[in-house]
Amino acid sequence: MLMGQMMQRPLLVMDLLKFGAETHKTAEIVSVRCEGDLHRQTYPETLDRVGQLGHALEALGLSSGDRVATLAWNGHRHFELYYACAGAGMVCHTINPRLSPEQMLYILGHAEDRVVFFDLTFLPIIEGLKAHLPEGMRFICMTDRAHMPEASVDLLCYEDLLAAQDATYDWPELDENTACGLCYTSGTTGNPKGALYSHRSSVLHAMYTGLALQTGLYDGSRILPVVPLFHVNAWGLPYAAPLMGASLIMPGPALDGASLFKLMDGEKVNSAWGVPTVWLGLQGEIANQGRTPDGLNQVVIGGSAAPRAMIEGFESQGVGVCHAWGMTEMSPIGTTGILPSDARDLPFADRMTLQAKQGRRVFGCELKIVDEAGKALPHDGEAVGELYVRGNAIVSGYFNNDDATAAAIDADGWFGTGDVAHIDKDGFLSIQDRAKDLIKSGGEWISSIDIENVVMAHPEVANCAVIAAPHPKWDERPLLVVVPAGDTKIMLDDVNVLMEPHFAKWQWPDDVVFVDALPLTATGKVSKLILRQTFADYQLPDLRGT
Ligand code: ADP
Task: Tell me the per-residue pLDDT of 328-373, one tens digit each, with 9 for 90 and over.
Answer: 999 999 999 999 999 999 999 999 999 999 999 999 999 999 999 9
pLDDT of residue 189: 63
Do the domain assignments include residue 177? yes
Residue 464 in this model has a pLDDT that exceeds 80: yes
% of residues, the chain, pLDDT over 70: 99
Do residue 466 and residue 529 come from a single domain?
A: yes
Candidates 213, 299, 419: which one to mutate for ligand 1, based on the most atoms within 8 Å of Cβ?
419
**Which sign, positive or negative, has the C-alpha torsion 102, 105, 109, 111?**
positive
Identify residue 104 by its one-letter amino acid code: M
* 308-316 and 276-289 helices, crossing angle to 10°: 40
Do residue 402 and residue 507 come from a single domain?
A: no
Q: Which of 200, 216, 236 is the last residue of a domain?
A: 200
Residue 4 backbone dihedrals phi, psi, to 5 degrees:
-70, 160
Tell me how far the alpha carbon of residue 334 lies from the centroid of ligand 1, in angstroms: 11
Q: What is the CATH number of the domain that holds 375?
A: 2.30.38.10
Task: Indicate if ligand 1 lies below 6 Å from the C-beta of 52.
Answer: no
In this predicted model, what pLDDT tens digit does every residue of 492-525 receive, in sequence order? 999 999 999 999 999 999 999 999 999 999 888 9
pLDDT of residue 542: 79
DSSP bridge partners of 222:
247
Q: Find the Cα–Cα–Cα–Cα dihedral 236, 251, 103, 334, rounded to 10°.
A: -20
Do residue 442 and residue 423 come from a single domain?
A: no
Closest by CA position to 82, among listed 8, 183, 153: 183
Do residue 16 and residue 112 come from a single domain?
A: yes
Do the domain assignments include residue 268? no
Do residue 424 and residue 446 come from a single domain?
A: no
pLDDT of residue 247: 98
> What is the residue range of 121's domain?
10-200
Contact between 498 and 458 (Cβ < 8 Å): yes
- Average pLDDT over the chain reads 96
Active site residue 353: no
Task: Indicate if ligand 1 lies below 6 Å from the C-beta of 138.
Answer: no
Catalytic choice (121, 127, 159, 445): 445
Do the domain assignments include residue 27? yes
Residue 458 in this model has a pLDDT that exceeds 70: yes
Do residue 526 and residue 377 come from a single domain?
A: no
Task: Indicate if ligand 1 lies below 6 Å from the C-beta of 408.
Answer: no
Do the domain assignments include residue 447? yes
Do residue 59 and residue 168 come from a single domain?
A: yes
Q: What is the CATH number of the domain that holds 114?
A: 3.40.50.12780
Active site residue 329: yes
DSSP bridge partners of 376:
370
Tell me how far the alpha carbon of residue 319 lies from the centroid of ligand 1, in angstroms: 23
String of DSSP letters for 132-177: GSPTT-EEEESS-GGGPPP-SS--EEHHHHHHTS-S--------TT
Catalytic choice (28, 80, 176, 329): 329
Element (H, E) at 453: helix 448-455
Active site residue 440: yes
Task: For residue 187, name the pLDDT band (cuts at 50, 70, 90).
Answer: low
- This prediction has a pTM of 0.95
Whether the link from the prior residue into 101 is cis, omega within 30° of 0, is: no
Do the domain assignments include residue 129? yes
Do residue 498 and residue 381 come from a single domain?
A: no
Task: Indicate if ligand 1 lies below 6 Å from the C-beta of 421.
Answer: no
Closest by CA position to 129, among listed 159, 87, 99, 86: 99
Do residue 445 and residue 377 come from a single domain?
A: no
Q: Which of 200, 217, 239 is the last residue of a domain?
A: 200
Active site residue 102: no
Do residue 454 and residue 412 come from a single domain?
A: no
Task: Indicate if ligand 1 lies below 6 Å from the C-beta of 523.
Answer: yes
Closest by CA position to 304, among listed 196, 433, 146, 400: 433
Contact between 182 and 195 (Cβ < 8 Å): yes
Q: Which of 166, 200, 234 is the last residue of a domain?
A: 200
Task: Indicate if ligand 1 lies below 6 Å from the C-beta of 185.
Answer: yes
Do the domain assignments include residue 61? yes
- Give the number of other Cβ atoms within 10 Å of residue 356's Cβ: 23
Task: For residue 443, name the pLDDT band (cuts at 50, 70, 90).
Answer: confident
Task: Indicate if ligand 1 lies below 6 Å from the C-beta of 98.
Answer: no
Do residue 419 and residue 465 come from a single domain?
A: no
Query: Which residue's CA is minimally distant from atom 24 of ligand 1?
Result: 305
Give burial (CB, 10 Å; 0-12/13-18/19+) of 324. Answer: buried
C-alpha of 42 from chain center: 25
pLDDT of residue 188: 62
- Give the number of other Cβ atoms within 10 Å of residue 294's Cβ: 12
CA distance 303 to 280: 14
Residue 144 backbone dihedrals phi, psi, to 5 degrees:
-100, 175
Indicate the number of domains in the chain: 3
In this predicted model, what pLDDT tens digit does every residue of 93-150 receive, in sequence order? 999 999 999 999 999 999 999 999 999 999 999 999 999 999 999 999 999 999 999 9
Residue 544 in this model has a pLDDT that exceeds 80: no
Beta strands in 226-381 (DSSP E): 247-250, 271-274, 298-301, 320-326, 333-336, 360-361, 366-370
Closest by CA position to 195, among listed 431, 401, 409, 391: 401
Do residue 401 and residue 459 come from a single domain?
A: no
Catalytic choice (25, 268, 440, 473): 440
Q: What is the CATH number of the domain that holds 500?
A: 3.30.300.30
Do the domain assignments include residue 134? yes
Do the domain assignments include residue 333? no
Tell me which DSSP letter residue 507 carries: G
Atom number, ligand 1, closest to the C-alpha of residue 231: 6
Give the chain's radius of gyration (CA, Å): 24
